[in-house]
Amino acid sequence: MTTATQTKYEAIIGLETHCQLNTNSKIFCSCSTNFDSPPNTNVCPVCLGHPGVLPVLNQEVLNSAIKMGLALQGKIARYSKFDRKQYFYPDLPKNYQISQYDLPIVENGQLEIEIVDPKTQEVTKKIIGITRLHMEEDAGKLVHAGSDRLAGSTHSLVDFNRTGVPLLEIVSEPDLRTGQEAAEYAQELRRLVRYLGISDGNMQEGSLRCDVNISVRPVGQKEFGVKVEIKNMNSFSAIQKAIEYEIERQIEAINEGEAIVQETRLWEEGSQRTISMRSKEGSSDYRYFPEPDLPPLVINEAQLEEISKTLPELPANKRSRYEAEFGLSAYDARVLSDDKDVASYFEAVVANGASVKGAANWITQDIAAYLNSNPDLDINKIALTPEMLAELIKLIEEGTISGKIAKEILPELLEKGGSPKEIVESKGLVAISNPDELSTIIDKILAENPDKLEQYRAGKTKLQGFFVGQIMKATSGRADPKLANQILNQKLNG
């Protein structure tokens, strides 16, 4: 290693995120936004850019943009407008995109993210600035025939169904420093749009697309290094890995005396590296000008008030409330509030009388595992209702059944539902908590294992576990564990 490697570097990272809204119709016409439709069936003269047609703004798009702006604690413009961004590409029938340029609908927001230490699960919070949020229309989609990439294909087909689908573009300040922070930022954005119900936020299907801008500089240096853009990441882990790779690559290049080229790079999932796509000299000149076919947007206070009343409790607020109200750790609060429906389920289980700890454990462990192995299910679709889970937890907490028995009947409850109490009674699974009955069983086990008993009394106290195992075996897991241990202790040491 050369001495240059001793220099400490830091990465400066900003994200540009495109979020596809889930409105029924497109942003400027009444065409459907349905994605399962055959190619070029959700099109009309407006979204195909025929001469003489007039776009009309879908009010739902503006409402969604304002909701997101409020959720990001941004400044909502009282006066805003649309602009034409001119460029030529085969998937853009008008040869311009209607977007927003100098007067975006939202500016100066912020997003609180949580960084979890992977080893200790300790959570630290950080505020990331949001430069702006604006509305725009999506372009169409090119399908390269004969190959899944442009190179190697024989010809390309264009599908205009996506043309005019509404997008929010959200631009962060360059406040992110690591791949983990960037991935967490994108995840928190997804939580927000899902909580607000304005997008499904699905990265694999392209509803949430992130472009990363990244440069490195020696720690202490004020000027930014040369910025590289990375595209093509379709998962949070890909964002993290692409950034980590790129930081290494840039530091290595600087240490070797190479100049960083301003360019766009693609993340290659297969080889786990970024590759150069095209160099980017200066910023493109899109010749923006105000869209003459759409009136400027004037937002009044009453409208803002109306929309702000519809906002649900947001993820960060829910996390703080879970810590304060339920005494959960920051980590558990985070896991339970990640999905809005899981959070509602959890709150319903607690409201039905289960302990917070019990509800949290069952939901984050057994039920989460079940949902993971059944990706088509979500928590609202399982047969085990919050009331039933609360009943099950209470049966354990009252000592009627052991946790082991509860786990045994759980698969049936998840598939078919039913009253845990009735299932336990009809199957004769109620715990044995009669001291005389347990005492007889334990006496028999000790009598059957004289060698083990002798070893125990000679100091091999680890054998207690063996005896507990035998008790559970003899009672098919029905022995009240606390009581059984107590009696066993008396007999072993008495």
Q: How many binding residues for Zn ion (CB under 5 A)?
A: 5
Q: In whole angstroms, how close is the CB of 86 to Zn ion at the nearest point? A: 21
Q: In whole angstroms, how close is the CB of 41 to Zn ion at the nearest point? A: 11
Task: Enter the tokens of residue 385.
Answer: 């209702």
Q: Which is nearer to Zn ion, 99 or 240 (CB)?
A: 99
Backbone angles phi, psi at 266, to 5 degrees: -110, 140
Sequence-ordered strand ranges (E) for 65-122: 75-76, 79-80, 83-86, 96-99, 106-116
The Cα 276–Cα 249 span in angstroms is: 12
Q: In whole angstroms, how close is the CB of 347 to Zn ion at the nearest point? A: 42
| 93 close to 48: Cβ distance less than 8 angstroms | yes
Query: Coil, helix or strand for 141?
Result: strand
State the amino acid at position 426 in one-letter form: S
DSSP 73: T
Q: In whole angstroms, how close is the CB of 34 to Zn ion at the nearest point? A: 12
Q: In whole angstroms, how close is the CB of 98 to Zn ion at the nearest point? A: 13
Q: Which is nearer to Zn ion, 44 or 472 (CB)?
A: 44
Q: Which is nearer to Zn ion, 163 or 207 (CB)?
A: 163
The Cα 293–Cα 82 span in angstroms is: 9
Q: Which stretch binds Zn ion (CB under 5 A): 41-49, 73-81, 90-98, 112-120?
A: 41-49
The Cα 418–Cα 223 span in angstroms is: 64
Q: In whole angstroms, how close is the CB of 46 to Zn ion at the nearest point? A: 5
Which residues 89-128 are close enough to bind Zn ion by CB under 5 A? none
Q: Which is nearer to Zn ion, 30 or 344 (CB)?
A: 30
The Cα 177–Cα 416 span in angstroms is: 48
Q: In whole angstroms, how close is the CB of 30 to Zn ion at the nearest point? A: 7
Residue 47 interacting with Zn ion (CB under 5 A):
yes
Q: In whole angstroms, how close is the CB of 143 to Zn ion at the nearest point? A: 20
Q: Which is nearer to Zn ion, 55 or 74 (CB)?
A: 55
Which parts of 113-266 fold into alpha helices (H)?
Answer: 179-196, 236-255
| 261 close to 279: Cβ distance less than 8 angstroms | yes
Give me the residue label for tokens 């503006």. 62
Task: Enter the tokens of residue 446.
Answer: 């000790």
Q: In whole angstroms, how close is the CB of 42 to Zn ion at the nearest point? A: 7
Q: Which is nearer to Zn ion, 94 or 334 (CB)?
A: 94
Q: Which residues pair with 137 in a beta bridge?
A: 166
Residue 31 interacting with Zn ion (CB under 5 A):
yes
Q: In whole angstroms, how close is the CB of 51 to Zn ion at the nearest point? A: 15
Concatenated DSSP letters of 393-456: HHHHHTTSS-HHHHHHHHHHHHHH---HHHHHHHTT---B--HHHHHHHHHHHHHH-HHHHHHH
Q: In whole angstroms, how close is the CB of 25 to Zn ion at the nearest point? A: 8
Which residues 394-453 are close enough to bind Zn ion by CB under 5 A? none
Write the interaction track for Zn ion spanning residues 291-310; mark x where CB under 5 A is met and - where it is not. Answer: --------------------
The Cα 470–Cα 368 span in angstroms is: 31
Which listed residue (11, 13, 19, 29) binds Zn ion by CB under 5 A?
29
Which one, of 306, 295, 307, 304, lies nearest residue 80 by Cα? 295
Q: Which is nearer to Zn ion, 162 or 334 (CB)?
A: 162
Q: Are strands 263-268 and 228-233 parallel, antiparallel or unpaired?
A: parallel
Query: Coil, helix or strand for 130?
Result: strand
Q: In whole angstroms, how close is the CB of 63 to Zn ion at the nearest point? A: 20
Write the interaction track for Zn ion spanning residues 352-371; mark x where CB under 5 A is met and - where it is not. Answer: --------------------
DSSP 25: B
Q: Which stretch binds Zn ion (CB under 5 A): 21-29, 88-96, 122-130, 432-440?
A: 21-29
Backbone angles phi, psi at 289, to 5 degrees: -150, 155
Q: Report the alpha-carbon angle 108-112-114, nearest 5.
A: 155
Q: In whole angstroms, how close is the CB of 45 to Zn ion at the nearest point? A: 7
Q: How many CB atoms lie within 10 A of CB 220?
A: 8
Q: Which is nearer to Zn ion, 5 or 24 (CB)?
A: 24
Q: Which stretch binds Zn ion (CB under 5 A): 25-33, 182-190, 303-311, 326-334?
A: 25-33
Chain-centroid distance, C-alpha 139: 26
Task: Enter the tokens of residue 331.
Answer: 């980590």
Q: Which stretch binds Zn ion (CB under 5 A): 12-20, 27-35, 120-128, 325-333?
A: 27-35
Buried b (16+ CB within 10 A) or exposed e, 62-73: bbbbbbbbbbbe
Residue 165 interacting with Zn ion (CB under 5 A):
no
CA neighbours closer than 13 Å in the CB half-sphere of residue 481? 13
Q: Which stretch binds Zn ion (CB under 5 A): 47-55, 253-261, 311-319, 421-429?
A: 47-55
Residues that bind Zn ion (CB under 5 A): 29, 31, 44, 46-47
